[in-house]
Amino acid sequence: MHPTGAQTSSPQSPALESGELKAVFSKVSWRLIPLLLIAYMIAYLDRINIGYAQLQMKQTLPFDDAVYGLGAGIFFIGYFLFEVPSNLLLERIGARKTLLRIMVLWGLTASAMMFVSTPLQFYVLRFLLGVFEAGFFPGVILYFTYWYPSVRRGQVIAIFMSATTIISVLAGPLCGATLKYFDGVGGLYGWQWLFLVQGLPAVILGFLVYFLLEDKPANASWLSKDEKKLLEDSLAHKVKGVEREPAGTFGGLLRDPKVYALSLVYLLLLGATYTMVFWLPTLIQSWGIKDLLLVGIYAAIPNAVGVIGMILIGRHSDKWRERRWHFAACVVIAAIGLFATTLLQGNLVGSLLALSFAVIGIASATPLFFALISEYLSVGAAAGGLALISSLGNLGPAISPTINGLIVRSTGDNTYSMYFVIALYLLSGLLLLLTIRPTATAGVPAPVAAH
């Protein structure tokens, strides 16, 4: 008996069960995922490295905390405004041209941060960085729908999104070493080198994406005719675990209330996650760890566990063709782990274990969410829908950390802020279960494991 008790599945193409198809998807994954994974790592690094750079910029520029805070927030405004237009353009002109434009412009803008000398310049460049980077994430998720049927998409998205967790482990040492050892080289400050050496790789990767990837399987010269036929057959026999939205166009999508409910789910999820990202070093310090290097090392342990967990859970979700309860289970895991950390204050090993358990759920929930909405959205509405939900959800990080700060200020106790984050996670899971209904095939194991 499978989890939902469903007894039948939709007819499958014989190709889906063949070892040949498994080999084709392996070939596709090795071509697409490593390059896009590295690109997403650089994108995330260019977004968050300002937090490290400002430690040294304060010593050389007349900026205060208010300037940095406003500059950090302006990024999300540009991101919010241009995510939907970028994805609609991708659908018209193709992924290669769109990703080339996005990555070259964001790389040049990130590098140009080295020339900042006034608050206005800082605000303009942070806004433009958000504008240029806006379409990358939803663009790649849309791109995956061209290459992978829904039954294989959960693990693929999980692997791609592991980039943020991996780079979170590496960002501290990379940024710290650049600030320390490049300071004064060539007459430049360390923070100037930081922006330069972490921005230019995006430009190079943009050209590699353009020349090495193809817009769709039909254009791939590295696939044989038989391999293309297997892919086409697999994509034509999609099996979804959730009901599909009724609208076939972006205009119709805008009138679908479930799209806004899903946007709220993502807002709650992302708001909780970013609050945890911002608060994690403080949490670890509260365990009695004062050495900043040790804080970074201890923070890396839960993230490493999270990478493994998100890939395994994504694979399990693909196998059972089920997203809703997997997502709900992940936010419950996050909530239980975070609550346990509040009970284990002063116990370093116990707190670290509880936090690692929580990060499994935290890291796994987002790729499951995007696998689900990629199934829910119709083909005609996928480009705009993915971007709309993502852009609205990205307002969460602009709201929740502020609320969290007010809670800490008014109570003087970090425990209550943890309860706030737990509530956000649980509300996101409950709202998703109420919004999206399963199909009759949800919970039916796929004929082959999704690789």
Please say whether the beta carbons of 140 and 40 come within 8 A: yes
Sign of CA dihedral 46, 51, 55, 59: positive
- Where do we find the tokens 């007010």? 406
Q: What is the Cα–Cα distance from 103 to 49, expressed in whole angstroms?
A: 17
Question: pLDDT truncated to tens, each residue of the chain (451 aa)?
Answer: 334 433 333 444 444 456 788 899 999 999 999 999 999 999 988 877 877 787 788 788 877 767 776 777 788 788 888 889 998 899 899 999 999 999 999 999 999 999 999 989 999 998 999 899 888 999 999 999 999 988 888 889 989 988 988 887 787 778 888 888 898 999 999 999 999 999 999 999 999 999 999 999 999 999 999 899 988 888 886 666 676 766 667 778 888 999 999 999 999 999 898 888 767 777 777 788 777 567 777 878 888 898 899 999 999 998 888 999 999 999 999 999 999 998 987 788 999 999 999 999 999 999 999 999 988 988 878 888 899 999 999 888 777 877 877 787 788 777 888 999 999 999 999 999 999 988 766 666 765 444 4
CB neighbour burial string for 193-224, b if at least 16 within 10 angstroms, e if fewer: bbbbebbebbbebbeebbeebbbebeebeebe
Q: What is the Cα–Cα distance from 140 to 157, expressed in whole angstroms?
A: 9
- Where do we find the tokens 């670890």? 284
Q: What is the Cα–Cα distance from 382 to 92, expressed in whole angstroms?
A: 13
Sign of CA dihedral 268, 273, 278, 281: positive
The radius of gyration computed from the CA coordinates of the chain, to the nearest angstrom, equals 22
For residue 76, give the nearest of 392, 390, 394, 366 by alpha carbon.
394
Please say whether the beta carbons of 313 and 326 come within 8 A: yes
CB neighbour burial string for 43-76, b if at least 16 within 10 angstroms, e if fewer: bbbbbbbbebbbebbeeebebeeebbeebbbbbb
